[in-house]
Amino acid sequence: MNELTGDDQAIELLQQLGLKEYEAKSFVALSRVSAGTAKDISERSEVPRTRVYDAVRVLESKGLVEIHHSNPQQFRAVSVDEAADILRDEYHDRTESLRETLKALEPITTEPERDVTHEVWALSGNRTIAARAEQLVSEADDEVVLILGDEAMFTESLQDALEAAEQRGVTIIVGAAIEELQTTVQSALPDVEVFVSGLSWLASSGPDDQTDIERLLLVDRTTILISTSSGREDDEKAIFGRGFDNGLVTIVRRLMATGLLPVDDPGSERP
């Protein structure tokens, strides 16, 4: 299998950010020179010359290319940093537009509200699970108990979600697998109770068990999320359940309590 060249990789990334093939190729060609004509772009990018003008017009409309109206016309790409900022903003705008459009869609059928007592779902992928954990924290009304098995789980966006929950008056308790992680979390969240978890079974137990528990999250004593990973890239998997009487929630609440200070047992009532 052939590895992508630098040009090919840049073109692929630009396409993932919304540019079409000829637009991406033209921009990459221009980004390597101070300026160029349509002929120059075509020769460097293998984009047909007749298609270069269409591609450049689109790039100009996005603010990615400047045009000097000489004879022949000269084109130049904006700086790499400026282009990255423009594409990031456009990607964000599209994401927000998608969010609003999807929320506005009318449901095809109206179903009766489900009994969530036995609701358990599965998720895969680091980003998906991280986003769900942050969403659950953002929904908390009373208490969040979070145990982290790895420093990579403590992201900036998770920190923001925990800070926002704390500002709403939610009690936040964070357990860390090791002292170094405890120090990191405590430094980032100085007003939050952070401790080294006593749950030694978070880590893999030997050669026959290479699975680590990455995060345990309990929200308002009714919703639980558990994720695991075997160390391979983006192989994190999770399950989460809702409902105070959910068997999974009950079991994990009690297991988590073995690693907490007695007064913070999520299965006990606070005075």
Model confidence band, residue 98 (pLDDT cutoffs 50, 70, 90): confident
The confidence score (pLDDT) of residue 149 equals 84
Distance of CA 241 to the CA centre of its chain: 21
pLDDT band at 262 (very low <50, low <70, confident <90, very high): very low
Q: Nearest-CA neighbor of 143 among 216, 221, 240?
A: 221
pLDDT higher than threshold 50 for residue 269 = no
- Predicted confidence at residue 138, as pLDDT, reads 95
Q: What pLDDT shows up at residue 247?
A: 65
pLDDT digits 0-9 by tens, 191-235: 988 888 765 555 555 555 556 888 889 998 888 898 988 767 667
Report pLDDT for 146. 92
Q: In residues, how long is the chain?
A: 271
Residue 112's pLDDT is 56
DSSP state, 187? H
Smallest Cα–Cα separation from 26: which of 55, 5, 49? 55
Alpha helices for the chain (secondary structure H): 6-16, 21-31, 38-45, 49-61, 80-104, 126-139, 156-167, 179-188, 247-257
What is the reported pLDDT for 178? 84
Q: How many Å apart are CA 268 and CA 271, to the nearest integer?
A: 9
Give dist(CA 52, CA 37) in Å, integer: 10
Burial environment of residue 90 by CB neighbours within 10 A (0 to 12, 13 to 18, 19 or more): middle
pLDDT recorded at residue 265: 45
Q: Indicate if the pLDDT at residue 244 is higher than 70.
A: no
Percentage with pLDDT > 90 across the chain: 43
Amino acid at residue number 57: R
| Mean pLDDT calculated for residue range 169-181 | 89
Cβ atoms 229, 129 nearer than 8 A: no
Of 114, 171, 163, 116, whose CA–CA distance to 145 is shortest? 171
> How far is the C-alpha of 174 from the C-alpha of 184, rounded, in Å?
11
Across the range 100-122, mean pLDDT stands at 71
Q: Residue 35 and residue 63: Cα distance in Å, rounded?
A: 16
Query: What pLDDT is recorded for position 268?
Result: 47
Which residue in 253, 227, 222, 224 sits closest to 240, CA to CA? 224
pLDDT above 80 (res 38):
yes
The 10s digit of each residue's pLDDT in 39-75 is 999 999 999 999 999 999 999 999 999 999 889 999 9
Answer yes or no: pTM beyond 0.75.
no
User: 228: which 2 tokens?
Assistant: 């695991």
Q: What is the mean pLDDT of the chain?
A: 83
Q: Amino acid letter at 183?
A: T
Q: Which residue has the tokens 């998997």?
A: 237
